[in-house]
Protein backbone atom coordinates (compact mmCIF):
# COMPACT_ATOMS: atom_id res chain seq x y z
CA UNK A 1 0.00 0.00 0.00
CA UNK A 2 1.60 3.24 -1.23
CA UNK A 3 0.10 6.64 -0.38
CA UNK A 4 1.38 9.82 -1.94
CA UNK A 5 0.52 13.30 -0.67
CA UNK A 6 1.24 16.04 -3.21
CA UNK A 7 1.07 19.82 -3.57
CA UNK A 8 1.67 20.32 0.16
CA UNK A 9 1.81 24.03 0.92
CA UNK A 10 4.22 23.39 3.82
CA UNK A 11 5.76 20.08 4.92
CA UNK A 12 6.81 20.84 8.49
CA UNK A 13 9.11 18.97 10.86
CA UNK A 14 11.35 17.20 8.38
CA UNK A 15 14.63 15.52 9.30
CA UNK A 16 17.24 14.42 6.82
CA UNK A 17 20.47 12.76 7.94
CA UNK A 18 20.74 13.74 11.56
CA UNK A 19 18.16 12.18 13.89
CA UNK A 20 17.59 13.85 17.22
CA UNK A 21 16.08 12.27 20.32
CA UNK A 22 14.74 15.65 21.43
CA UNK A 23 14.86 19.26 20.32
CA UNK A 24 16.15 21.65 22.99
CA UNK A 25 16.48 25.32 23.83
CA UNK A 26 16.92 27.76 20.94
CA UNK A 27 16.50 24.97 18.36
CA UNK A 28 12.87 24.58 19.43
CA UNK A 29 11.96 27.80 17.61
CA UNK A 30 12.96 26.53 14.19
CA UNK A 31 11.09 23.73 12.53
CA UNK A 32 12.64 22.41 9.37
CA UNK A 33 10.17 22.78 6.49
CA UNK A 34 9.80 22.33 2.74
CA UNK A 35 7.45 24.47 0.66
CA UNK A 36 5.41 23.00 -2.20
CA UNK A 37 6.26 19.44 -1.24
CA UNK A 38 5.26 15.78 -1.47
CA UNK A 39 5.58 12.89 0.96
CA UNK A 40 5.31 9.17 0.23
CA UNK A 41 4.25 6.43 2.66
CA UNK A 42 4.65 2.73 2.05
CA UNK A 43 3.99 -0.20 4.36
CA UNK A 44 3.00 2.27 7.08
CA UNK A 45 6.32 4.11 6.98
CA UNK A 46 7.53 7.34 5.44
CA UNK A 47 9.66 6.32 2.46
CA UNK A 48 10.41 9.66 0.85
CA UNK A 49 9.66 13.37 0.65
CA UNK A 50 10.80 16.31 -1.42
CA UNK A 51 9.68 19.32 -3.41
CA UNK A 52 7.12 19.15 -6.22
CA UNK A 53 9.62 20.35 -8.82
CA UNK A 54 11.51 17.08 -8.28
CA UNK A 55 8.64 14.62 -7.82
CA UNK A 56 9.70 11.17 -9.11
CA UNK A 57 7.27 9.25 -11.31
CA UNK A 58 5.67 7.08 -8.58
CA UNK A 59 2.81 4.65 -8.86
CA UNK A 60 0.66 5.19 -5.75
CA UNK A 61 -2.45 3.28 -4.61
CA UNK A 62 -3.80 6.48 -3.04
CA UNK A 63 -2.91 10.00 -4.04
CA UNK A 64 -3.97 12.96 -1.92
CA UNK A 65 -3.88 16.53 -3.18
CA UNK A 66 -2.96 18.68 -0.16
CA UNK A 67 -3.09 22.06 -1.92
CA UNK A 68 -3.02 24.89 0.61
CA UNK A 69 -2.50 22.50 3.53
CA UNK A 70 0.30 21.91 5.99
CA UNK A 71 1.48 18.36 6.61
CA UNK A 72 3.21 17.74 9.92
CA UNK A 73 3.84 14.87 12.36
CA UNK A 74 0.82 13.81 14.40
CA UNK A 75 0.79 14.87 18.06
CA UNK A 76 2.38 12.51 20.60
CA UNK A 77 0.43 13.09 23.81
CA UNK A 78 2.78 11.67 26.44
CA UNK A 79 0.63 12.17 29.57
CA UNK A 80 -3.05 11.23 29.83
CA UNK A 81 -5.51 9.58 32.21
CA UNK A 82 -7.97 8.84 29.43
CA UNK A 83 -9.43 5.73 31.11
CA UNK A 84 -11.95 6.93 33.69
CA UNK A 85 -15.48 6.08 34.70
CA UNK A 86 -17.21 9.42 35.14
CA UNK A 87 -16.90 13.17 34.73
CA UNK A 88 -16.34 15.41 37.79
CA UNK A 89 -18.41 18.38 36.71
CA UNK A 90 -19.76 18.78 40.26
CA UNK A 91 -16.23 19.51 41.52
CA UNK A 92 -15.83 21.99 38.67
CA UNK A 93 -18.73 23.95 40.14
CA UNK A 94 -17.31 23.57 43.68
CA UNK A 95 -14.10 25.18 42.47
CA UNK A 96 -15.98 28.01 40.78
CA UNK A 97 -17.61 28.61 44.16
CA UNK A 98 -14.19 28.88 45.80
CA UNK A 99 -12.94 25.47 46.93
CA UNK A 100 -9.42 24.58 45.83
CA UNK A 101 -8.37 21.35 44.11
CA UNK A 102 -6.43 20.37 47.26
CA UNK A 103 -9.45 21.13 49.51
CA UNK A 104 -11.72 18.98 47.34
CA UNK A 105 -9.17 16.15 47.49
CA UNK A 106 -8.85 16.47 51.28
CA UNK A 107 -12.66 16.07 51.58
CA UNK A 108 -12.46 12.73 49.78
CA UNK A 109 -13.29 14.12 46.34
CA UNK A 110 -10.86 14.40 43.48
CA UNK A 111 -8.90 11.26 42.68
CA UNK A 112 -10.79 9.30 45.38
CA UNK A 113 -14.09 10.31 43.79
CA UNK A 114 -12.84 8.93 40.46
CA UNK A 115 -11.59 5.77 42.20
CA UNK A 116 -15.02 5.10 43.74
CA UNK A 117 -16.66 5.42 40.33
CA UNK A 118 -14.04 3.27 38.66
CA UNK A 119 -14.34 0.51 41.24
CA UNK A 120 -18.03 0.18 40.38
CA UNK A 121 -17.51 0.39 36.62
CA UNK A 122 -17.66 -2.57 34.35
CA UNK A 123 -14.51 -3.23 32.30
CA UNK A 124 -16.41 -3.27 29.02
CA UNK A 125 -18.02 0.12 29.69
CA UNK A 126 -14.67 1.61 30.70
CA UNK A 127 -13.15 0.36 27.46
CA UNK A 128 -15.99 1.73 25.31
CA UNK A 129 -15.83 5.18 26.93
CA UNK A 130 -12.04 5.36 26.63
CA UNK A 131 -12.16 4.17 23.01
CA UNK A 132 -14.59 6.96 22.21
CA UNK A 133 -12.27 9.54 23.81
CA UNK A 134 -9.26 8.23 21.90
CA UNK A 135 -11.17 8.48 18.63
CA UNK A 136 -12.07 12.07 19.52
CA UNK A 137 -8.46 13.09 20.17
CA UNK A 138 -7.26 11.26 17.05
CA UNK A 139 -9.66 13.41 15.03
CA UNK A 140 -7.90 16.43 16.59
CA UNK A 141 -4.48 15.20 15.42
CA UNK A 142 -3.21 12.82 18.10
CA UNK A 143 -1.18 9.94 16.67
CA UNK A 144 0.39 8.42 19.81
CA UNK A 145 -0.62 8.32 23.46
CA UNK A 146 0.50 7.47 26.96
CA UNK A 147 -2.28 6.38 29.33
CA UNK A 148 -2.07 5.94 33.10
CA UNK A 149 -3.83 3.77 35.62
CA UNK A 150 -4.32 5.40 39.02
CA UNK A 151 -8.09 5.49 39.52
CA UNK A 152 -8.14 1.90 40.79
CA UNK A 153 -6.14 2.24 44.03
CA UNK A 154 -6.62 -1.45 44.80
CA UNK A 155 -5.06 -4.42 43.09
CA UNK A 156 -8.08 -5.60 41.12
CA UNK A 157 -9.13 -2.17 39.90
CA UNK A 158 -5.59 -1.11 38.96
CA UNK A 159 -5.26 -4.31 36.92
CA UNK A 160 -8.68 -3.66 35.41
CA UNK A 161 -7.54 -0.22 34.21
CA UNK A 162 -4.28 -1.59 32.82
CA UNK A 163 -6.15 -4.34 30.97
CA UNK A 164 -8.39 -1.68 29.41
CA UNK A 165 -5.25 0.19 28.30
CA UNK A 166 -3.82 -3.03 26.85
CA UNK A 167 -7.02 -3.60 24.91
CA UNK A 168 -6.94 -0.04 23.57
CA UNK A 169 -3.39 -0.72 22.42
CA UNK A 170 -4.49 -3.92 20.68
CA UNK A 171 -7.54 -2.30 19.09
CA UNK A 172 -6.22 1.06 17.90
CA UNK A 173 -3.73 1.72 15.11
CA UNK A 174 -1.69 4.27 17.10
CA UNK A 175 1.15 3.48 19.54
CA UNK A 176 -0.01 3.50 23.17
CA UNK A 177 2.25 3.35 26.24
CA UNK A 178 0.94 2.40 29.69
CA UNK A 179 1.99 3.81 33.06
CA UNK A 180 1.21 2.19 36.40
CA UNK A 181 0.01 4.93 38.79
CA UNK A 182 -1.36 3.14 41.87
CA UNK A 183 0.61 5.78 43.83
CA UNK A 184 -1.84 8.48 42.75
CA UNK A 185 -3.58 8.93 46.12
CA UNK A 186 -3.94 7.00 49.37
CA UNK A 187 -7.29 5.17 49.38
CA UNK A 188 -9.60 6.27 52.20
CA UNK A 189 -9.22 2.91 53.96
CA UNK A 190 -5.44 3.50 54.27
CA UNK A 191 -5.69 7.10 55.49
CA UNK A 192 -4.28 6.12 58.86
CA UNK A 193 -1.87 3.52 57.57
CA UNK A 194 -0.16 4.97 54.55
CA UNK A 195 2.82 2.69 54.92
CA UNK A 196 0.59 -0.33 54.35
CA UNK A 197 -0.57 1.09 51.01
CA UNK A 198 3.01 1.68 49.81
CA UNK A 199 3.73 -1.93 50.82
CA UNK A 200 0.65 -3.16 48.98
CA UNK A 201 1.85 -1.46 45.80
CA UNK A 202 5.37 -2.84 46.13
CA UNK A 203 4.59 -6.35 47.34
CA UNK A 204 1.31 -7.17 45.64
CA UNK A 205 0.49 -4.86 42.74
CA UNK A 206 3.89 -4.32 41.12
CA UNK A 207 4.74 -8.03 40.76
CA UNK A 208 1.41 -8.69 39.03
CA UNK A 209 1.66 -5.67 36.76
CA UNK A 210 5.18 -6.66 35.76
CA UNK A 211 4.46 -10.38 35.39
CA UNK A 212 1.50 -9.66 33.13
CA UNK A 213 3.51 -7.08 31.16
CA UNK A 214 0.79 -4.50 31.69
CA UNK A 215 2.89 -1.32 32.02
CA UNK A 216 5.89 0.39 30.49
CA UNK A 217 6.36 3.00 33.20
CA UNK A 218 5.91 3.60 36.92
CA UNK A 219 4.28 6.90 37.87
CA UNK A 220 3.97 8.45 41.34
CA UNK A 221 2.13 11.63 42.38
CA UNK A 222 4.98 13.14 44.42
CA UNK A 223 3.20 15.95 46.24
CA UNK A 224 2.40 17.29 49.72
CA UNK A 225 -0.59 15.35 51.04
CA UNK A 226 0.02 12.59 48.49
CA UNK A 227 3.33 10.65 48.15
CA UNK A 228 6.47 11.99 49.84
CA UNK A 229 9.94 12.04 48.30
CA UNK A 230 10.87 9.02 50.44
CA UNK A 231 7.78 7.06 49.36
CA UNK A 232 8.47 8.02 45.76
CA UNK A 233 12.06 6.88 46.03
CA UNK A 234 11.10 3.49 47.46
CA UNK A 235 8.38 2.98 44.86
CA UNK A 236 10.73 3.85 42.00
CA UNK A 237 13.44 1.53 43.37
CA UNK A 238 10.93 -1.32 43.54
CA UNK A 239 9.68 -0.54 40.03
CA UNK A 240 13.23 -0.51 38.63
CA UNK A 241 13.74 -4.06 39.92
CA UNK A 242 10.69 -5.03 37.84
CA UNK A 243 11.89 -3.20 34.73
CA UNK A 244 9.52 -0.23 34.95
CA UNK A 245 11.12 3.15 34.28
CA UNK A 246 9.81 6.28 36.02
CA UNK A 247 7.65 9.01 34.52
CA UNK A 248 6.33 11.00 37.45
CA UNK A 249 3.92 13.72 38.56
CA UNK A 250 6.21 16.34 40.09
CA UNK A 251 5.93 19.85 41.54
CA UNK A 252 2.28 20.44 40.61
CA UNK A 253 0.93 22.07 43.77
CA UNK A 254 4.15 22.63 45.76
CA UNK A 255 7.88 22.52 45.23
CA UNK A 256 7.75 18.92 46.40
CA UNK A 257 11.21 17.59 45.54
CA UNK A 258 9.62 15.50 42.79
CA UNK A 259 11.88 16.81 40.04
CA UNK A 260 15.08 15.87 41.86
CA UNK A 261 13.86 12.45 43.03
CA UNK A 262 12.72 11.68 39.47
CA UNK A 263 16.09 12.68 38.03
CA UNK A 264 17.96 10.63 40.65
CA UNK A 265 16.01 7.59 39.46
CA UNK A 266 16.60 8.29 35.77
CA UNK A 267 13.01 9.32 35.03
CA UNK A 268 12.13 9.52 31.34
CA UNK A 269 10.13 12.63 32.18
CA UNK A 270 8.97 14.69 35.14
CA UNK A 271 5.54 16.12 34.47
CA UNK A 272 3.50 19.18 35.58
CA UNK A 273 6.22 21.50 37.01
CA UNK A 274 3.97 24.40 37.98
CA UNK A 275 6.11 24.90 41.11
CA UNK A 276 9.75 24.90 40.10
CA UNK A 277 12.64 27.31 40.69
CA UNK A 278 16.31 27.63 39.75
CA UNK A 279 17.52 24.41 41.52
CA UNK A 280 14.98 22.30 39.56
CA UNK A 281 16.01 23.84 36.23
CA UNK A 282 19.66 23.34 37.11
CA UNK A 283 19.05 19.68 37.98
CA UNK A 284 17.15 19.16 34.69
CA UNK A 285 20.01 20.72 32.72
CA UNK A 286 22.37 18.03 33.99
CA UNK A 287 20.06 15.11 33.17
CA UNK A 288 18.37 13.38 30.24
CA UNK A 289 14.99 13.67 32.00
CA UNK A 290 12.44 15.55 29.90
CA UNK A 291 10.48 18.39 31.55
CA UNK A 292 6.86 17.84 30.48
CA UNK A 293 4.52 20.77 31.01
CA UNK A 294 0.76 20.32 31.37
CA UNK A 295 -0.61 23.86 31.05
CA UNK A 296 -4.12 22.54 30.40
CA UNK A 297 -4.23 21.54 34.09
CA UNK A 298 -2.89 24.93 35.22
CA UNK A 299 -5.54 26.58 33.01
CA UNK A 300 -8.42 24.47 34.27
CA UNK A 301 -7.41 24.74 37.95
CA UNK A 302 -6.68 28.48 37.65
CA UNK A 303 -3.07 28.05 38.77
CA UNK A 304 0.00 29.91 37.60
CA UNK A 305 1.62 28.49 34.49
CA UNK A 306 4.88 26.61 34.18
CA UNK A 307 7.94 28.77 33.34
CA UNK A 308 8.28 27.45 29.79
CA UNK A 309 10.22 30.48 28.53
CA UNK A 310 12.78 30.22 31.30
CA UNK A 311 13.19 26.50 30.59
CA UNK A 312 13.68 26.97 26.86
CA UNK A 313 16.08 29.85 27.48
CA UNK A 314 18.00 27.52 29.81
CA UNK A 315 18.46 25.14 26.86
CA UNK A 316 16.00 22.48 28.03
CA UNK A 317 13.90 20.22 25.75
CA UNK A 318 10.42 21.26 26.84
CA UNK A 319 7.62 18.77 26.18
CA UNK A 320 3.89 19.54 26.27
CA UNK A 321 1.10 17.05 27.02
CA UNK A 322 -2.61 17.36 27.74
CA UNK A 323 -3.02 15.48 31.08
CA UNK A 324 -6.53 14.53 29.82
CA UNK A 325 -8.36 13.47 33.03
CA UNK A 326 -11.75 14.14 34.64
CA UNK A 327 -10.41 16.34 37.46
CA UNK A 328 -7.70 18.77 36.47
CA UNK A 329 -7.99 18.79 32.67
CA UNK A 330 -11.04 17.18 31.07
CA UNK A 331 -9.72 17.78 27.56
CA UNK A 332 -7.30 15.93 25.32
CA UNK A 333 -7.49 18.62 22.66
CA UNK A 334 -3.90 19.32 21.59
CA UNK A 335 -4.71 22.29 19.32
CA UNK A 336 -6.27 23.99 22.36
CA UNK A 337 -3.20 23.05 24.44
CA UNK A 338 -1.02 24.74 21.80
CA UNK A 339 -3.07 27.90 22.08
CA UNK A 340 -2.70 27.92 25.87
CA UNK A 341 1.05 27.31 25.58
CA UNK A 342 1.45 30.24 23.19
CA UNK A 343 -0.86 32.77 24.84
CA UNK A 344 -0.17 31.96 28.51
CA UNK A 345 3.42 30.68 28.55
CA UNK A 346 4.67 32.74 25.58
CA UNK A 347 5.93 29.74 23.68
CA UNK A 348 6.37 30.42 19.96
CA UNK A 349 4.14 28.31 17.69
CA UNK A 350 7.11 26.27 16.42
CA UNK A 351 8.31 25.68 20.00
CA UNK A 352 4.88 24.51 21.10
CA UNK A 353 4.43 22.25 18.06
CA UNK A 354 7.85 20.63 18.50
CA UNK A 355 7.13 20.20 22.23
CA UNK A 356 4.19 17.93 21.37
CA UNK A 357 5.71 16.19 18.34
CA UNK A 358 9.39 15.22 18.64
CA UNK A 359 9.65 15.93 22.37
CA UNK A 360 6.30 14.24 23.01
CA UNK A 361 7.59 11.18 21.19
CA UNK A 362 10.80 11.27 23.25
CA UNK A 363 8.79 11.40 26.48
CA UNK A 364 7.37 7.98 25.58
CA UNK A 365 10.68 6.76 24.12
CA UNK A 366 9.36 6.71 20.57
CA UNK A 367 11.40 9.44 18.93
CA UNK A 368 13.18 6.94 16.67
CA UNK A 369 9.74 6.12 15.21
CA UNK A 370 7.62 9.26 15.53
CA UNK A 371 7.70 13.01 16.03
CA UNK A 372 9.33 14.17 12.79
CA UNK A 373 8.98 13.52 9.08
CA UNK A 374 11.94 11.30 8.33
CA UNK A 375 12.47 8.29 6.08
CA UNK A 376 11.78 5.10 8.04
CA UNK A 377 9.56 6.72 10.68
CA UNK A 378 5.90 5.75 11.03
CA UNK A 379 3.62 7.69 8.66
CA UNK A 380 1.36 9.21 11.34
CA UNK A 381 0.71 12.62 9.86
CA UNK A 382 -1.69 15.53 10.14
CA UNK A 383 -2.94 17.04 6.89
CA UNK A 384 -4.39 20.36 7.98
CA UNK A 385 -7.29 22.25 6.50
CA UNK A 386 -5.94 24.87 4.10
CA UNK A 387 -4.07 27.46 6.18
CA UNK A 388 -1.34 30.02 5.68
CA UNK A 389 1.24 29.15 8.33
CA UNK A 390 2.18 26.97 11.29
CA UNK A 391 1.28 29.86 13.58
CA UNK A 392 -2.30 29.61 12.32
CA UNK A 393 -2.72 26.29 14.19
CA UNK A 394 -2.53 27.80 17.71
CA UNK A 395 -3.91 31.13 16.49
CA UNK A 396 -7.21 29.74 15.19
CA UNK A 397 -8.23 28.52 18.65
CA UNK A 398 -11.42 26.61 19.17
CA UNK A 399 -11.33 25.26 15.63
CA UNK A 400 -9.90 21.94 14.59
CA UNK A 401 -6.90 22.42 12.28
CA UNK A 402 -7.11 18.81 11.10
CA UNK A 403 -8.42 18.20 7.61
CA UNK A 404 -7.42 14.55 7.36
CA UNK A 405 -5.26 12.21 9.37
CA UNK A 406 -2.83 9.66 7.99
CA UNK A 407 -2.19 6.80 10.41
CA UNK A 408 0.35 4.15 9.44
CA UNK A 409 0.24 5.44 5.86
CA UNK A 410 -3.56 5.19 5.58
CA UNK A 411 -6.02 8.10 5.42
Binding site for Fe ion (CB under 5 A): 323
Q: Quick one: what does residue 9 bind among ligand NIG, Fe ion, none, with the CB cut-off 5 to 8 Å set by partner type?
A: none
- The strand pairing partners of 135, in sequence order, are none
**Site pattern 287..306 for ligand NIG (x: CB under 6 A):** ----------x---------
Q: Checking phi first, is residue 153 left (phi over 0); if not, alpha (psi -120 to 50) or beta?
A: left
User: By C-beta, is 38 or 221 nearer to Fe ion?
Assistant: 221
Are 88 and 326 within 8 A, CB to CB?
A: yes
Q: How far apart are CA 23 and CA 207, in angstroms?
A: 36
Residue, CB closest to Fe ion: 323
CA dist 343 and 83 (Å) reads 29
Q: Is 252 in the site for ligand NIG (CB under 6 A)?
A: yes
Measure the CA dihedral 25/141/6/349, to 10°: -30
Rounded to whole angstroms, how far apart are CA atoms 347 and 308? Answer: 7
Q: Is the dihedral of CA 186, 189, 195, 199 positive or negative?
A: negative
Q: How far is the CB of 249 from Fe ion (least distance, A)?
A: 6
Instruction: Decide whether 303 or 381 has the Cβ nearer to ligand NIG.
Output: 303
Choose among Fe ion, ligand NIG, none what residue 289 binds, the Cβ cut-off being 5 to 8 Å by kind.
none
For ligand NIG, give the closer residue by CB, 110 or 262: 110
Q: Are 290 and 311 in contact (CB under 8 A)?
A: no
Residue 221 binding: pick among Fe ion, ligand NIG, none (C-beta 5-8 Å cut-off by kind): ligand NIG
Closer to ligand NIG at the Cβ: 149 or 233?
A: 149
Nearer to Fe ion, 223 or 323 (CB): 323
Residues 129-148 that bind ligand NIG (CB under 6 A): none
Pick the stretch among 16-24, 109-117, 258-266, 333-341 that binds ligand NIG (CB under 6 A). 109-117
Nearer to ligand NIG, 142 or 251 (CB): 251
Among 228, 328, 357, 359, binds ligand NIG (CB under 6 A): 328
- In sequence order, the β-bridge partners of residue 343 are none
Nearer to ligand NIG, 38 or 151 (CB): 151
Out of Fe ion, ligand NIG, none, what residue 328 binds, judged by CB under 5 to 8 A for its kind, is ligand NIG
The reply on whether position 232 binds ligand NIG by CB under 6 A is no
C-alpha dihedral sign at 126, 128, 129, 130: positive
CA distances from 204 to 59, 115, 210 (A): 56, 19, 11
Closest-CA residue to 149 (of 85, 91, 77, 88): 85
3-state SS assignment for residue 382: strand
The CA distance from 74 to 137, in Å, is 11
Instruction: Using CB under 6 A, pick the residue from 163, 234, 247, 249 that binds ligand NIG.
Output: 249
Question: Which residues contact ligand NIG by CB under 6 A?
Answer: 81, 110-111, 114, 221, 249, 252, 297, 323, 325-328
Amino acid sequence: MRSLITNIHLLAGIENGDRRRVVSGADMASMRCLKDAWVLAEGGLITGFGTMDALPDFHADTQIDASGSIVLPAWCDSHTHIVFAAARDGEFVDRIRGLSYAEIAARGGGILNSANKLNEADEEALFDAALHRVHQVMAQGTGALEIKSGYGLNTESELKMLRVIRRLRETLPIPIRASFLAAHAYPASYRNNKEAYVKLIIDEMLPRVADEGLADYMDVFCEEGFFSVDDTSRLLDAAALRGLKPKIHANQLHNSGGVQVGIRHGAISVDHLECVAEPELEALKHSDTIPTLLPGAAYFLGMHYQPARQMIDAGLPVCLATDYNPGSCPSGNVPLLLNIACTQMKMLPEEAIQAVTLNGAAAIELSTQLGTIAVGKTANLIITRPMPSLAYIPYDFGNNPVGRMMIKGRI
